[in-house]
Structure 1
């Protein structure tokens, strides 16, 4: 029936073809049953997938399988986020080219070619893991349909006055050559020097400590905390800026840290976000110091045209030469860097497109209360982020491979011309507006920037629902049932999706959000491509250990928590796979001569394992309803390893082998229990290890269950539970465990005989124990078993 040894490499390839050819996981919108829709994160096409991706994506896939077996019509699409800066970097690195050095159209075409190869590789990996998504629903964030939906989203927000164009200071990455949003900032500890510089005030020295002396030319003011008794006397005076000999006012502000440096701080345009806040608050003039390439502006005396780092060194040299450097010492300080490249960001005026979120902060905070957060504490991360937002969302990027803004500008009057929705998608660099400007001019300048990739991936619910397309399913799918994602992108993907969906429809994007943890390297850092610590390639792990082994490991952690990984962790998975195969092989061997049917004679111990399996299934189901995959697996593991294998199969083994001794009806009772218990076990584990469970199911159960795949069977909760049966089974487990312990301590074989077992049990269980005595004699090898009545359970061996 089952081969002696399980062969995953043969089984997994065979079953993958079976599932695909029979469309086991195809979504049918016309089918009955409530739709359960999943908003799956489209992996960024920026390099190879690593074990961290496998961890989180597989957990979500297990939920899809669980919901399908709960009777839902599961809508489970997959996508690829294949535009934007990460993809451009991949193409540049792979092809050894620079986007800025070749025509934009040529670079874009090369991007299409590279991402197609990576996406085929990604899809093959998900296939090899047995993902039950419907590949007919796949989307790409750069494809025409997605571009159309993304551009339509922009136009809708523009018409609502929520998307707007403004020239103002913006966060800018001079390395990536693009504006960025607040959500793309990370904090990084960098080595630098604190430089104490003398500003002169009425012939006296006012000492300022700064890490950015290259910005002296752009100094606007000196700030002092109003309660700083040591320095308050400077307030209201003017200070002369060293080297440049112009004066700036000395002002009071509560935000000054009087315990840092000299207790006073200079404000420049712009050193950091605090400078920008003061610039806006006090209406300072803008003085350009740094250009978009990360070099000092040509007009800056002494250091114009130098790279910022070299300019900093040169200014320090000049200050030293002119005795204008009081002291200098090394420090580590926190700097805002671009998450994509790790380079410090600058702030500079630029004309960019924004989405207004600051006006709607209260509404966006309140939205969180209408979504179920799993785990619940992740909601705090969202609210903390929204509460601390200081910038509107900058959605324009000065890059090449992305969704174009469907916008032109009239060269005569400057008016903004937005594309007609019926013409989408459009590329304004290649297409002219269909009509003249309202001023009569036909001379237009196309917008050359592209949309931030988050501006597209934030509409994945709309992409999934085919918003505005001929097969629009918005009414059926929104809000979607569940979003799954990592906790690091709560501030981006979760927040932006919530904002956009609300702005478009006035609703939440999904009912539940499932937040997964990271996989960490052994030294305690997140495994990622950028950190170059993702040495264990998923493809190799699957080929070496099997998909089910990798999946079983992925189901090991509590939701939202980070976990570590090494290849040794898969040894636990292998032991489980071997145990499940051997237990099924033993069980099915004893069902070869049995036709599944109802029996009118079920022994108490057989009823116990049936009820205990249902209890384990229902407890696992409760955890899965909360998206706690790791806890659900723990419940099932405890039942399978201990209750079913260690206790029950050992207890009934003799009865199965010797019907002439125990009686045919008693053997049929065990067969009935094994048939249904093993089927429950297989169904429950099928969401974690779909290949081996399907192989066992098809080897036997398919004939009797009349369903071609275990993954189309139903995993339903019990309507009631026999607590008496469960308690009776607990007594049985205690007896078997105590006997094993006794024999082990006496260095006896489990088959060695013992003289007498005296059991003291509550009176209510005496009748049940009469039905189990024959099994107990065979299992314990006791020469005599005495059952006595008492208030508490007790076991005496002699």
Structure 2
């Protein structure tokens, strides 16, 4: 081994070696137990950042762990490269608007952009040493996935689970598309509560509203049935200010007695409550806001204006006419589109939906049948399902997505679905192969595309090549593990459960591993849109190495958010240097080791062997529960303290001076060094795969005859006997640390001699101690060691 470890050279070398030797390839032909991983296909919406490194690396470590438990690991990787996020990226990079180009030309630009970013993403994951089987790679826009997505939609449509209807829909006027409830976020904004008089039989009733621009869309006033103030007005008609038409006054329990004036206007549509009232009370619909965010031209006074401008103008107009009694500034929570951060509207539109509201109990039951790691993340899922108010809108009025495989009959309007053999199909470029049941052969293609979640929710089916000649879904589903961030529990986790239960009748996976975020500062998540990530992962790898980044990423408790500072990578580099130096020391002393087990192992050598097995057992238990950080902490404690600080210091003299300690005694230490270091490298291999491979290949491969450390199995065969050797080892550590503390307090060098070390130890450890006296003397620089038996350990120095 070289004196210094060259990470840049080693990492590229071993990444190439792993690929050339198919170290991580899934074997379809062996009966070994499969561990399958459903990994989030990263969205093509910009460059990856440290937050992606954090969560994806944690999951990758689980893949390595399971492989080293003897499992046949099915570890595919995909790219979510269709839909609105990609469109917005292309618009930003090309400085264009999708609507300003022919559809085909814009889609071509999207395809070029996705290819560029997918290559960039793949190169980054490979640079991080990901143990992915790249032969299993997929993208959500390719023809195979399009076929699966369109087939899945057709199955749901024919079963009535997917349906089309014209109704109020959540709408982003910036992105100009319908969206689903799961794509909403909340934002507090400053606005005004405007007090406006409605007239009932010549009497003024004051309504407070934050949306005065919707006065023209007002279809009803509501009061609480228990509100005595308005009891006599219920059932009467109120005249709308400015517009002078009459609307009914009705009651509903949802009206707050304390908010505003207790009198609420219902307009089509100001918020989701308006929608509830509209449907519950069968109110009429009045169009106010267009899909582009402007008011319809026929809205008096403010037609053609955008919402904010219309609001300002109507407030000014009300004030001029004495119809604004007062207004108050307040902080108001509004729903915004997660993709663009702009407030959403609700408009009437014809859209495709997947029915989810009718089977909420089924989806809640599914949560109980899945193992959630950490367990408290299950409550996020349950809260989401319990509070669902809308079916899942899956149609998007965009361009770069998977087309709906259908047309509409020009004569009767009936949907005409593509045949399975036509898939994948683009209805805008082809025609149905059959006529409508009404006899018409003229059709209008569906121009909307499927929501990208409608495809990525099928990732278990995509991974298992569902509905193809190579279909493996009966073997792979439920998959062993899904990994994802907690922010997409409401989308990717929930939608995948919905789709898997429908299409396979099975849960999509047995376990779900929920990772935390990386924060740029307290409370602020690092994200592509905020551009707050600092250095790119590529730059960090070049400066610090992939293993340094991986070691850092493994430090957090599962599910918790963490801050990132480049300074933290110094700790990673310190660890890598320590591991290299410790391994170098061991290998120097193993040059004449022959691999045979000695006739007798000295107690301290037995202790370190049993101790690493104990550590391995504890780490494996944590990793089975996806606690990468807890497992690493367990291994780190052993490496830094038990192995480096204590064991190597204890046996150092024995290794250097066989003429003093004996050849057999030295060989006992060599046997322990070889086996403990090899096992330690295997434990660390899941965290820092490059440096562990470098050390393994430099020395151990010639004896182990396995082509990679990552093809080895953790040696899970603990044999602690009665545990006395483990207790003895802990007592030796205490003795040595007491001596060190004593010398430190006296300002003595660790190599300064002490005359007598007097010990009291349990009688059961007497034989162990007798065989360890030489090691203790050498390590503590004690001239004499005296001991007597006592149940309580005692250390005295003279």
Q: Normalising by structure 1, what TM-score?
A: 0.99
Where do 1:153-168 residues align within 5 Å?
A: 153-168=152-167
Question: In structure 2, what is the equivalent of residue 210 of structure 1?
Answer: 209
Q: Which runs of 5+ in 1 are unaligned?
A: none
- Pairing 1:757–2:757 present: yes
Tell me the residue number matched to 1:488: 487
Inter-partner Cα distance in structure 2 for 1:152 and 1:460: 14
Aligned to 1:52: 51
Q: Deviations over 1:625-652 (max 9, x none)?
A: 0000000000000000000000000000
Structural mapping, 1:405-424, within 5 Å: 405-424=404-423
Tell me the residue number matched to 2:667.
Answer: 668
C-alpha distance in 2, partners of 1:425/1:43?
A: 23
The answer for the alignment partner of 1:81 in structure 2 is 80
Query: 1:720, CA displacement in angstroms?
Result: 3.5
Q: Note the 1:314-325 alignment, pairs <5 A.
A: 314-325=313-324
- Deviation digits for residues 22-42 of structure 1 (CA, Å, limit 9, x no counterpart): 111111111231011000000
Task: Provide the rounded CA distance (Å) in 2 between the counterparts of 1:327 and 1:787.
Answer: 91
Query: Deviation digits for residues 165-204 of structure 1, max 9, x if unmatched?
Result: 1111111111101000000011111111111111222333
Q: Distance in 2 between matches of 1:489 and 1:588?
A: 47
Q: Within 5 A, what are the aligned runs for 1:322-361?
A: 322-361=321-360
Residues 481-490 or 249-258, more deviating: 249-258
Q: Distance in 1 between matches of 2:38 and 2:770?
A: 55
Measured after TM superposition, the shift of residue 239 of structure 1 is 2.0
Runs of 4+ residues over 6 Å off in structure 1? none
Structure 2 Cα separation of the partners of residues 273 and 297 of structure 1: 21
What's the counterpart of residue 107 of structure 1? 106
Instruction: After superposing the two structures, state which structure 1 stretch, 788-797 or 606-615, moved more.
Output: 788-797
* Partner residue, 2:685: 686
After TM superposition, the structure 1 stretch with the greater mean CA deviation from structure 2, 233-242 or 125-134, is 233-242
Q: Is the 8 A contact 2:187 2:335 kept in 1?
A: yes
Query: Could you list the runs of 5+ residues in structure 2 that have no partner in the other structure?
Result: none
* Offset of residue 624 of structure 1: 0.1
Corresponding residue for 1:546?
545
Displacement of 1:597: 1.4
3-state SS, counterpart of residue 192 of structure 1: strand
Q: How does 1:755-794 map to 2 (within 5 A)?
A: 755-794=755-794
What is the rounded CA distance, in whole Å, between the counterparts of 2:321 and 2:666 in structure 1? 101
Give the whole-Å Cα distance in 2 for the aligned partners of 1:533 and 1:261: 40
Equivalent residue of 1:97, what SS? coil
Aligned to 1:393: 392
Distance in 2 (CA, whole Å) between partners of 1:245 and 1:33 is: 77
Query: CA shift at 1:446, angstroms?
Result: 0.5
Q: CA deviation at 1:383?
A: 0.8
The aligned residue for residue 9 of structure 1 is 8
Partner of 1:704: 703
The aligned residue for residue 172 of structure 1 is 171
User: 2:144 is matched with which residue?
Assistant: 145
> Whole-Å Cα distance in 1 between the matches of residues 261 and 735 of structure 2?
75
1:124 deviation in Å? 0.3
1:726-767, CA deviations, whole angstroms, 9 ceiling, x for partnerless residues? 111110111111111111111110000112111111111111
Residue in structure 2 matched with residue 797 of structure 1 by the alignment: 797
Deviation string 1:279-322 (CA, Å, 9 cap, x unpaired) is 11100000111111111111211111111111000100011001
1:616-631 equivalence runs, <5 A = 616-631=615-630
Query: What residue number does 2:36 align with?
Result: 37
Distance 2:766 2:230 in 1: 88
CA change 1:152–1:756 in 2 (3 A) is: same
Q: Bigger CA drift: 215-224 or 551-560?
A: 215-224
Cα shift at 1:251: 2.0
C-alpha distance in structure 1 between counterparts of 2:158 and 2:704, whole Å: 56
5 Å-filtered alignment, 1:439-518, equals 439-518=438-517
Distance (whole Å) between structure 2 residues aligned to residue 374 and residue 714 of structure 1:
25
Shift of 1:257: 2.0
**Equivalent residue for 2:429?**
430
2:73 counterpart of 1:70 = no
Q: CA deviation at 1:675?
A: 0.4
Counterpart of 1:735? 735
| Residue of structure 2 equivalent to 1:637 | 636
Where does residue 725 of structure 1 map in the other structure? 725
For 1:711 and 1:32, locate their aligned partners in 2 and report how far apart those are by CA, in whole Å.
Answer: 20
The answer (yes or no) to whether the contact 2:610–2:718 under 8 Å persists in 1 is no
Residue 607 of structure 1 corresponds to 606
1:577 equivalent in structure 2: 576
CA contact (8 A) 2:610 2:719 kept: no
For residue 230 of structure 1, report the CA deviation from its aligned partner. 4.2
Alpha-carbon offset, residue 370 of structure 1:
1.1
Query: 2:782, 2:660 → 1: CA distance?
Result: 17
| TM-score (norm. length: structure 2) | 0.99
Q: CA deviation at 1:529?
A: 1.1
Instruction: Tell me the distance in 1 between the aligned counterparts of 2:196 and 2:530.
Output: 38
Aligned to 1:244: 243
1:690 shift after superposition: 0.1
- How far residue 260 of structure 1 moved from its aligned partner, in angstroms, is 1.8
Instruction: Tell me the alpha carbon deviations over residues 82-108 of structure 1, each in whole angstroms, 9 at most, x when there is no partner.
Output: 000000001111111111001001111
Distance 2:789 2:32 in 1: 52
Q: Do 2:614 and 2:718's aligned partners in 1 also have CA atoms closer than 8 Å? A: no
Indicate the SS of the match to 1:63.
helix
SS at 2:524 equivalent: coil
Aligned-residue offset at 1:769: 0.5
